[in-house]
Amino acid sequence: MNIWITGASSGIGESVARLYAEAGHTVFASARNQDALKAMESASNEYAGRIVAAPLDVTDNNSVIDAFEKIKHDKNPLDLVILNAGYYEPVEFADLTLEHFEKTYDVNLRGVVRCLIPVLKYFTEQQHGHIAIVSSVSGFRGLPRAAAYGSSKAALINMAESLKPECNANSIQLSLINPGFVKSKLTEQNKFNMPFIMETEDAAKRIVDGLESTAFELTFPKRFTYWLKLFRILPYWLYFVVTKKLL
Ligand SMILES: NC(=O)c1ccc[n+]([C@@H]2O[C@H](COP(=O)([O-])OP(=O)(O)OC[C@H]3O[C@@H](n4cnc5c(N)ncnc54)[C@H](OP(=O)(O)O)[C@@H]3O)[C@@H](O)[C@H]2O)c1
pLDDT score at 129: 98
Nearest CA to ligand 1 atom 25: 7
State the closest ligand 1 atom to the C-alpha of 58, by its place in the atom list counted from 1: 32
CA of 180 to the centre of ligand 1 (A): 14
CA distance 59 to 170: 28
CA of 228 to the centre of ligand 1 (A): 22
Nearest CA to ligand 1 atom 34: 31
- Ligand 1 contacts (CB < 6 A) are 6-13, 31-33, 56-59, 84-88, 107, 111, 134, 136, 179, 181-182, 184-187
pLDDT score at 247: 85
CA distance 26 to 195: 34
CA distance 155 to 140: 10
pLDDT band at 47 (very low <50, low <70, confident <90, very high): confident
Q: Is the pTM of this model over 0.85?
A: yes
Q: Which of 75, 177, 105, 197 is nearest to 134 (CA)?
A: 177
State the closest ligand 1 atom to the C-alpha of 59, by its place in the atom list counted from 1: 31
Q: Which of 78, 113, 84, 58 is nearest to 176 (CA)?
A: 84
- DSSP for residue 1: -
Nearest CA to ligand 1 atom 17: 186
pLDDT score at 43: 84
pLDDT score at 236: 97
Nearest CA to ligand 1 atom 1: 182
pLDDT per position as a tens digit, 99-157: 999 999 999 999 999 999 999 999 999 999 999 999 999 999 999 999 999 999 999 99
- DSSP for residue 92: -
Summarize the chain as % helix, strand, coil (round to 5). Answer: 50, 15, 35
Tell me the best of 112, 114, 184 to mutate to test the pocket of ligand 1, counting ligand atoms within 8 Å of each CB and taking the most. Answer: 184
For the chain, what is the mean pLDDT? 96
CA of 84 to the centre of ligand 1 (A): 6
CA of 48 to the centre of ligand 1 (A): 24
Q: Which CATH number fits domain 2-244: 3.40.50.300, 3.30.930.10, 3.60.20.10, 3.40.50.720?
A: 3.40.50.720
CA distance 176 to 2: 19
Q: Which of 122, 33, 134 is nearest to 79 (CA)?
A: 122
pLDDT band at 63 (very low <50, low <70, confident <90, very high): very high
CA distance 77 to 240: 48
CA of 225 to the centre of ligand 1 (A): 20
CA distance 110 to 116: 9
CA distance 100 to 182: 23
pLDDT score at 49: 84
pLDDT band at 36 (very low <50, low <70, confident <90, very high): very high
State the closest ligand 1 atom to the C-alpha of 106, by its place in the atom list counted from 1: 31
pLDDT per position as a tens digit, 161-199: 999 999 999 999 999 999 999 999 999 999 999 999 999
pLDDT band at 217 (very low <50, low <70, confident <90, very high): very high
pLDDT score at 30: 98
CA distance 139 to 141: 6
- Asked whether residue 46 carries a pLDDT value surpassing 80, the answer given is no
What is the rounded average pLDDT of the residues 28-41? Answer: 97
N residues, the chain: 247
pLDDT score at 73: 87
Whether 225 and 196 have beta carbons less than 8 Å apart is answered as: no
Whether 222 and 206 have beta carbons less than 8 Å apart is answered as: no
CA distance 6 to 27: 10
Burial class (CB in 10 A: 0-12, 13-18, 19+), 125: exposed
pLDDT score at 48: 78
CA distance 143 to 247: 10
pLDDT per position as a tens digit, 73-101: 886 789 999 999 999 999 999 999 999 99
Q: Quickly list H helices, 23-97.
A: 34-41, 61-74
